[in-house]
């Protein structure tokens, strides 16, 4: 142990009511939480605006998939890919089968079976509730990992595939298949959403916000419907007779397609994510990330009910990013930022249409790198004045790390490209002018996993996996030094053999420290990139931070200190941090304490020396 640190538990790091799917059975809208444990299933009554039935499932981290047969609701989960049947008349939930680790989509067939699309095998499966039998149709497309959407009629299963878009029609009897996506759309990443009613099949294409409308009696000539305004995703489609309703992102807009005309109906708020659209007579209703909204077509207005207030309360989630200011500690998660007030100990939440993967305090503001769409936002340390600065574009979707370069007054963001794409970026957001520079490919043939800066030089850590759905091009990851003034690469090195990702970088006392995804530490000369030392710090990814008393890090299991001679000593053990993706640690504003995650709680570690 190093000294006698004090550990103070500050309560749940981030708590949220976040949903990704909904299904109407009778007069109730059923939904399920994601990213919290245990997941909660709730039934929302539109008449009373309350969640009047709620229960938890014993497995799963959340759900993207729901359908129903009669009064039975079927839910497809992820981690693991369990399928539950919920009797909505009694609330009884029964696990009926499992399809791998992640179910992206399920649908009911006219003859009473359930079909499912899965990740990472990109497969299509069938379950027969009458007999309990299952059938696998195998991968929809060899080499593709995602069946993101699915629909079925009496004879055919339609599987929407990515990261290279395909729409596969599978004969339910023989298993024979054919790709019915026209060749001109082959450059799209996903057929992400499907809706089927009778012989009308609607499919959305990412990242162009395009909808194709098919007649299933002749799949050769779909009608293209292009949403306006630069929207990239259509997240929900509902077909009602001659009308098709769709919700888009990032604008969060509801449209109706009728008589070959696309009409904008409105938006409940910027960035709204439509999980499902329901039409009940003259009422148009939608289930969003944490709300149910009604649309009044006569007035063009939305009225919403917050699901947390309705009876599906927030629960501790897996945190995504963390930072500290003089007055607060901020923790991000799904659809929001948790603000921990250091003076009062109170915790409040600021809604965000997306997930902040990076939080960077600069001056009196916090700058956020937000997934999806690699959006850049700004707010105050108390969660107020949240507003968007823009999007990175350049086929990027996931901010991975951020830093501030005081010399150029630039906020630096590293990114990972969209599904199936290659080459991440280094982004310079110049705060004095608002100008944005995007440097793609400065870490060649990799995504950019980490970034730090010193004296106008950005140091970048690569990851051989460019994006989800791609295979590495290079055998090992590299570290790059990039001159922000001349926009030139100064040096590139692969300091550790077989390293696939440099999960964090920090410059401390004239040395560049780089951690790998397999628990190694490399120390480099920042002027030349020459390797000057190595150490083993664990078995997985680590995140580093500089405090007044030295250099510290965490690997989710413990907090450790790194001494100048590369001795690694444990400061706090047994964290068991339940975070989303990468380890999280930050230093207090004055450098006298650390903040990290224990379980799903935020803790303060003081008494460092």
What's the pLDDT tens digit per position in 219-273? Answer: 999 999 999 988 999 999 999 999 999 999 999 999 999 999 999 999 999 889 9
Q: Which of 556, 604, 562 is nearest to 583 (CA)?
A: 556
Contact 514, 502 (CB under 8 A): yes
- DSSP assignment of 297-344 equals TTTTEEEEEEHHHHT---EEB-B-EEEE-SSEEEEEEEEEEEEEETTT
Q: What's the mean pLDDT in 100-114? A: 98
Q: Which helix (H) or strand (E) holds 412?
A: strand 410-417
Q: What pLDDT score does 281 carry?
A: 83
Contact 67, 79 (CB under 8 A): no
Q: Which of 188, 205, 114, 183 is nearest to 152 (CA)?
A: 114
The 10 Å CB-count burial string (b at 16+, else e) for 565-574 is: eeeeeebbee
Quote the pTM value: 0.91
Residue 439, pLDDT > 90, answer: yes
Contact 123, 115 (CB under 8 A): no
Q: What pLDDT score does 1 carry?
A: 41
Handedness of CA 525, 529, 533, 538 (dihedral sign): positive
- In whole angstroms, give the CA distance from residue 230 to residue 304: 26
> What single-letter DSSP state applies at residue 442?
S
Phi, psi of 251 (to 5 degrees): -70, -25
| Structure token pair of residue 315 | 């629960």
| Structure token pair of residue 530 | 């020459």
Q: What's the full length of the chain, in residues? A: 609
Contact 575, 584 (CB under 8 A): no
- In whole angstroms, give the CA distance from residue 415 to residue 451: 10
Neighbouring residues of 262: CB distance < 8 A, sequence distance ≥ 6:
225, 227, 228, 255, 256
Phi, psi of 372 (to 5 degrees): -90, -175
Q: What's the mean pLDDT in 484-502? A: 97
Q: Which of 85, 529, 39, 609 is nearest to 316 (CA)?
A: 39
> What single-letter DSSP state applies at residue 71?
T
SS3 category, 141: coil
- In whole angstroms, give the CA distance from residue 262 to residue 251: 16
Residue 2, pLDDT > 60, answer: no
Other Cβ atoms less than 10 A from the Cβ of 500: the count is 19
551 in the Ramachandran plot: left (φ > 0), alpha (ψ -120 to 50) or beta? beta
Q: Which of 331, 326, 313 is nearest to 13 (CA)?
A: 331
Phi, psi of 183 (to 5 degrees): -60, -30
- In whole angstroms, give the CA distance from residue 198 to residue 232: 27
pLDDT band per the 50, 70, 90 thresholds, residue 4: confident
Q: Which of 463, 441, 397, 357 is nearest to 189 (CA)?
A: 397
Contact 210, 188 (CB under 8 A): yes
Q: What pLDDT score does 3 carry?
A: 53
| Structure token pair of residue 110 | 């006219």
Residue 404, pLDDT > 60, answer: yes
SS3 category, 184: helix
Q: What pLDDT score does 271 carry?
A: 86
Q: How far is CA 135 from CA 76, 78, 174, 534, in A?
A: 16, 19, 12, 50
Q: Which of 28, 16, 104 is nearest to 287 (CA)?
A: 28
Residue 555, pLDDT > 60, answer: yes
Average pLDDT, the chain: 96
Residue 400, pLDDT > 50, answer: yes
- In whole angstroms, give the CA distance from residue 151 to residue 441: 38
282 in the Ramachandran plot: left (φ > 0), alpha (ψ -120 to 50) or beta? alpha
Task: Name 237's bridge partners.
Answer: 246
């Amino acid at each position: 142990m190093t000294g006698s640190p004090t550990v103070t538990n500050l309560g749940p790091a981030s708590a949220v009511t976040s949903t990704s799917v909904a299904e109407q059975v009778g007069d109730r809208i059923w939904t399920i939480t994601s990213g919290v444990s245990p997941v909660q299933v709730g039934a929302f009554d539109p008449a009373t605006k309350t969640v009047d039935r709620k229960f938890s499932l014993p497995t799963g981290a959340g759900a993207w998939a729901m359908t129903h047969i009669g009064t039975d609701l079927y839910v497809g989960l992820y981690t693991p890919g369990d399928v539950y049947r919920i009797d909505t008349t009694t609330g009884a939930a029964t696990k009926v089968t499992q399809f791998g680790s992640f179910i992206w989509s399920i649908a009911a067939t006219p003859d009473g079976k359930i079909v499912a699309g899965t990740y990472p095998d990109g497969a299509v499966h069938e379950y027969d509730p009458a007999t309990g039998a299952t059938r696998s149709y195998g991968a929809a497309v060899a080499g593709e990992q995602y069946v993101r959407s699915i629909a079925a009629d009496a004879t055919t299963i339609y599987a929407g595939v990515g990261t290279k878009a395909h729409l596969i029609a599978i004969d339910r009897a023989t298993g024979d298949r054919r790709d019915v996506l026209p060749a001109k759309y082959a450059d799209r990443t996903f057929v992400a959403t499907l809706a089927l009613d009778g012989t009308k099949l609607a499919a959305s294409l990412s990242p162009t916000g395009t909808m194709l409308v098919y007649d299933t009696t002749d799949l050769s000539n779909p009608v293209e419907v292009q949403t306006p305004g630069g929207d990239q995703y259509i997240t929900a489609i509902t077909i009602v007779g001659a009308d098709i309703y769709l919700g888009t992102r990032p604008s969060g807009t509801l449209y109706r397609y009728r008589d070959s005309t696309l009409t904008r109906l409105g938006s409940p708020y910027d960035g709204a994510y439509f999980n499902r659209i329901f039409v009940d007579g003259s009422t148009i209703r939608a289930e969003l990330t944490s709300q149910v909204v009604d649309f009044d077509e006569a007035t063009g207005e939305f009225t919403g009910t917050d699901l947390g207030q309705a009876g599906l309360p927030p629960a501790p989630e897996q945190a995504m990013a963390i930072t500290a200011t003089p007055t607060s500690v901020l923790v991000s998660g799904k659809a929001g930022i948790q603000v921990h007030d250091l003076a009062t100990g109170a915790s409040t939440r600021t809604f965000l249409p997306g997930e902040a993967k990076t939080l960077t305090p600069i001056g009196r503001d916090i700058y956020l790198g937000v997934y999806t769409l690699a959006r850049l936002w700004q707010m105050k340390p108390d969660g107020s004045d949240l507003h968007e600065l823009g999007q990175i574009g350049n086929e990027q979707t996931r901010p991975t790390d951020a830093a501030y370069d005081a010399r150029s007054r630039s906020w630096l963001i590293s990114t990972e490209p969209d599904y199936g794409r290659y080459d991440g970026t280094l982004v310079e957001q110049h705060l004095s002018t608002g100008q944005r520079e995007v440097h793609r490919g400065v870490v060649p043939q990799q995504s950019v996993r980490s970034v730090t800066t010193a004296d106008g030089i950005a140091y970048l850590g690569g990851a051989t996996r460019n994006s989800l759905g791609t295979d590495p091009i290079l055998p090992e990851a590299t570290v790059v030094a990039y001159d922000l003034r001349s926009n030139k690469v100064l040096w590139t090195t692969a300091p550790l053999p077989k390293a696939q990702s440099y999960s964090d970088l920090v410059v401390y006392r004239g040395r560049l420290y780089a951690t790998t995804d397999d628990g190694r530490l490399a120390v480099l000369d920042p002027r030349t990139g020459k390797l000057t030392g190595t150490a083993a710090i664990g078995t997985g990814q680590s995140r580093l931070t500089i405090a007044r008393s030295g250099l510290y890090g965490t690997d989710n299991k413990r907090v450790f200190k790194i001494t100048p001679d590369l001795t690694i000593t444990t400061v706090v053990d047994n964290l068991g941090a339940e975070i989303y993706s990468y380890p999280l640690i930050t230093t207090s504003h004055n450098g006298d304490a650390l903040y990290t995650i224990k379980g799903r709680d935020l803790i303060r570690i003081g008494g460092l020396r």
